[in-house]
Each structure stands twice: as structure tokens, then as C-alpha cells.
């Protein structure tokens, strides 16, 4: 049994067991079809980093979208469109995902993958700095989103939270990936800018009078977490 100690103190977790549990749940509940497997192959071939959500987290996103009856979804951080595909498949036929990506190469890979998955009609990829795009959406009084999934540059997470609150309505869900960062978010003053960003996000989210929130620990190779908030 391999037991690894984490930086945040004396705690240790049985990484091998958690990994087996993650694969067990995936085999039972979150099997990928050919389009999702192909999505990741295309992303790898194009040189994109393998920082997409895991199949289990994709399934969780899809269930949250369905349980909340989401018809309009905003995603911040597209990469190759892997999480986008899970979200788009959870929509009713007239639903829409708008996904924001700063890198036009990633956006091209995503558009190809979304077409392969047959969801391109339900997804719009907008290229540009996500915060600028969101401010434009607010100024244009675009319809509110039922679900926002934050998964782009971690130092801007607190800003994305503020902007997401302007683009949602009471009852909407605001989700944010990677808010634990293998425990680095728990440090008093993280040396890493990404961990500092998600730590500030977590504190702002937890203290926000218009949000009811929880953080769900998520394991895939490292311990991380998904923040889930309901807008009051």
C-alpha cells in the first residue's frame, strides 16, 4: 500500500485506494464513448495539455446541469472542448453552451471535437479574454445563464465569480474547478499564484451573501475540488 504525505500537515491519504475507487466509479457510471475518447486523442495530437476534467467530473457536471434543468450554460476555459461536450450533451435540444477561450488554436481543436461529437449546433465558442467577453455580455444584457462553469486561469477566479454573478439569476448554479490544488489552497499564504487565486475565490464564495456553497473534493491523479454554489 502506497501512502503519501501531503504538504499541508501530518495528514496522509492512501492514494492507490482513492485511484482504484475513482476508476471503479468511472467504469460503473462514467464510461466515455468514442467521441470523448477521440476528443482527448485530438487534443493530445494538437499538443494541448491534459488538464481536462476527468470522466467522473464530466458526468458530475452533466448531472448538475440536468438536475438544475439548465438550458443556457456559460463555460470559462474551453481547451479542446472535453468538459464542453459533457455539458452540451446534458442540454435539452434547444439549449446552448457558450464557452470562452483565449487561445484560438485551442478553440479550433474544440470546434473540431464538438463537431465530431455532434453537438456543434448547441455550442458557441467565443475567442478572447474571458473577463472582457463577460463584461461585453453584461453590457449587451444577454439572457442570464442557468449554470456557469469556471475553469480558466486560476488567478482571475475571484473576478470570474463577480462577473458570473452579473450573468446569472436566483437559482442559477456557479461551479468552479480546481479549487483545492492538492491542498495548496489550504495554506495560509500559498507561494503559487494559482493556489492564491483559488483560495481567494473560495473565501469570497463562502462569505458571499447571495451564494449557498459547498466544495466537493475530487480526485484524479491529485486531490482537487469542485466548488458548487447556488445563487439566492
Residues that bind ligand DHB (CB under 6 A): 51, 151, 177-178
C-alpha cell at 188: 495560509
Q: Which of 144, 146, 202 is nearest to 177 (CA)?
A: 202
Q: Of the listed pieces 62-70, 99-107, 186-194, 207-215, which binds ligand SAH according to CB under 6 A?
A: 99-107
> Which of 39, 42, 85, 178 touches Mg ion (CB under 5 A)?
178
Q: Which is nearer to ligand DHB, 178 or 202 (CB)?
A: 178
Q: Does 83 bind Mg ion (CB under 5 A)?
A: no
Q: Which three cell numbers mark 167? A: 450573468
Residue number with CB closer to ligand SAH (52 or 168) = 52
For ligand SAH, the closer CB: 82 or 201: 82
Crossing angle between the packed helical segments 130-139 and 157-166, to the nearest 10 degrees: 20
**Cα dist from 179 to 44, 138, 139, 165, whole Å:** 24, 25, 29, 18
Looking at the Cβ atoms of 101 and 146, the one nearer to ligand SAH is 101
Closest CA relative to residue 101, chosen from 132, 71, 135, 145: 132
CB of 30 to ligand DHB, least distance (A): 16
Report if residue 57 touches Mg ion, rule: CB under 5 A.
Answer: no
How far apart (Å, rounded) are the C-alpha atoms in residues 63 and 59? 6
To the nearest whole angstrom, how small is the minimum distance from the Cβ of residue 203 to Mg ion?
A: 19
Taking alpha carbons only, the member of 232, 187, 192 closest to residue 209 is 232
Helix, strand, or coil (residue 48): coil
Q: Which residues pair with 157 in a beta bridge?
A: none
Q: Name which of 12, 18, 16 is nearest 2 in CA terms.
A: 16
Which of the residues 114 through 133 are near ligand SAH (CB under 6 A)? 129-130
Select from 24-32, 45-53, 89-97, 182-190 the region that touches ligand SAH (CB under 6 A): 45-53
- Binding stretches for Mg ion (CB under 5 A): 151, 177-178
Binding site for ligand SAH (CB under 6 A): 51-53, 77-79, 82-83, 100-103, 106, 129-130, 151-153
Amino acid at each position: 500500500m502506497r501512502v503519501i504525505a501531503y504538504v499541508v500537515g501530518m495528514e496522509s491519504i492512501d492514494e492507490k485506494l482513492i485511484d482504484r475507487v475513482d476508476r471503479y466509479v468511472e467504469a460503473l457510471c462514467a464510461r466515455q464513448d468514442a467521441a470523448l475518447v477521440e476528443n482527448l486523442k485530438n487534443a493530445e495530437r494538437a499538443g494541448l495539455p491534459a488538464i481536462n476534467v476527468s470522466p467522473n467530473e464530466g458526468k458530475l457536471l452533466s448531472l448538475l446541469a440536468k438536475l438544475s434543468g439548465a438550458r443556457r450554460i456559460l463555460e470559462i476555459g474551453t481547451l479542446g472542448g472535453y468538459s464542453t461536450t459533457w455539458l452540451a450533451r446534458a442540454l435539452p435540444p434547444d439549449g446552448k453552451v457558450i464557452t470562452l477561450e483565449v487561445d484560438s488554436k485551442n478553440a479550433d481543436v474544440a470546434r473540431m471535437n464538438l463537431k465530431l461529437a455532434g453537438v456543434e449546433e448547441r455550442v458557441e465558442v467565443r475567442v478572447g479574454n474571458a473577463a472582457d467577453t463577460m463584461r461585453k455580455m453584461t453590457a449587451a444584457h444577454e439572457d442570464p445563464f442557468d449554470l456557469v462553469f469556471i475553469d480558466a486561469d486560476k488567478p482571475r477566479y475571484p473576478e470570474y465569480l463577480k462577473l458570473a454573478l452579473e450573468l446569472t439569476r436566483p437559482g442559477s448554479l456557479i461551479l468552479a474547478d480546481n479549487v483545492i490544488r492538492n491542498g495548496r489552497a489550504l495554506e495560509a499564504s500559498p507561494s503559487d499564484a494559482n493556489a492564491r487565486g483559488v483560495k481567494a475565490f473560495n473565501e469570497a464564495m463562502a462569505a458571499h451573501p447571495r451564494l449557498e456553497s459547498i466544495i466537493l473534493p475530487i480526485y484524479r491523479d491529485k486531490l482537487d475540488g469542485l466548488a458548487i454554489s447556488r445563487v439566492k
